[in-house]
Amino acid sequence: MSAIRLDNLSISYGDTTVVHGVTLDIAEGESFALVGESGSGKSTILRAIAGLAPEWTGTIELLGRARSHGVERAVAAQCQMVFQDPYGSLHPRKTIDATLSEPLAIHGIGNRDKRVEEVLTAVGLDRRFRFRFPHQLSGGQRQRVAIARALMLEPKVLLLDEPTSALDVSVQAEILNLLKRLRREQGLTYLVVTHNLPVVSFLCDRLAVMRHGRIVEVADVGLLKREALVEPYSRELLAATEGRGGVLDGAA
């Protein structure tokens, strides 16, 4: 079954259409990347899937179920988003415990203490972080908390919007290794937005190259690794990012 299916998806902000007729089919358990330069519509697609971009036409299906416009509780239980800036996405006046407990309270899920500690352990943070505030954590620790929050409802799909680009290079590989391990252990499906092709090579199975709100190429990541992408724009994008693989130093 498809984890995510988009059919002729167009997304607008007011009178401006920023995504044009995108069609994609992402399998359960797959890690799929949307790549392209800034403004190509990558993050807008993630926001529409998450219910944060209400003006769209076409079809968005998650795990075989078509979603409506706006935020849906049933969708939130199956699909969560991790944002680019781990500091901006965490409430500065809430402890990590409060942040992680909130989704459980909203969805009426009990046994919160046990669940919070389990998820903290899963992302590599021990219980001493539980009652700290975001400003008391490093950037990498905050992103681990953001990932933990996304996992609280045990979703099947994670939407990852530039999950390492706001972090120091020294910790980017740690987060990529964490994401790879979580996908393997929990059978997650990833839709990753990034402009960093070495990240795609490490984390993903397939990719779609976007330009001006349209998909210009869908390819297996093996073609990316062999520098054998077909479309001229895809090759230009690859050439522009060559030599920027430092993010993966230490990733395995």
pLDDT, tens digit, 9 for 90 and up, residues 137-161: 999 999 999 999 999 999 999 999 9
Q: What is the pLDDT of residue 251?
A: 63
Helix, strand, coil % in the chain, rounded to nearest 5: 40, 25, 35
196/244 Cα distance (integer angstroms): 8
Q: What is the pLDDT of residue 74?
A: 86
Portion of the chain with pLDDT greater than 70, in percent: 96
Q: Does pLDDT of 246 surpass 50? A: no
Q: Strand locations in 28-156, DSSP E?
A: 31-35, 56-62, 65-66, 79-82
Q: What is the pLDDT of residue 164?
A: 87
* Lowest-pLDDT range of 121-135, 173-187, 231-245: 231-245
- Strand pairing class (79-82; 65-66): unpaired
The 10 Å Cβ neighbour count of residue 136 is 12
pLDDT single digits (tens) 29-55: 999 999 998 889 999 999 999 999 879
* Average pLDDT rounded to a whole number, residues 203-220: 97
Residue 27: band (very low, low, confident or very high) from pLDDT cuts 50, 70, 90: very high
pLDDT single digits (tens) 212-229: 999 999 999 999 999 999
* Lowest-pLDDT range of 25-34, 161-170, 182-191: 161-170
Q: What is the pLDDT of residue 242?
A: 67
Q: Does pLDDT of 9 surpass 80? A: yes
77/79 Cα distance (integer angstroms): 6
Higher pLDDT, 68 or 6: 6
Domain boundaries in the chain?
A: 2-80+156-248
| CATH number attached to the domain at 2-80+156-248 | 3.40.50.300
Q: Does pLDDT of 244 surpass 60? A: no
CA distance to 34, 195, 205, per residue, from 40 (Å): 10, 10, 21
pLDDT single digits (tens) 53-109: 879 999 999 999 999 987 788 888 999 999 888 778 889 999 999 999 999 999 999
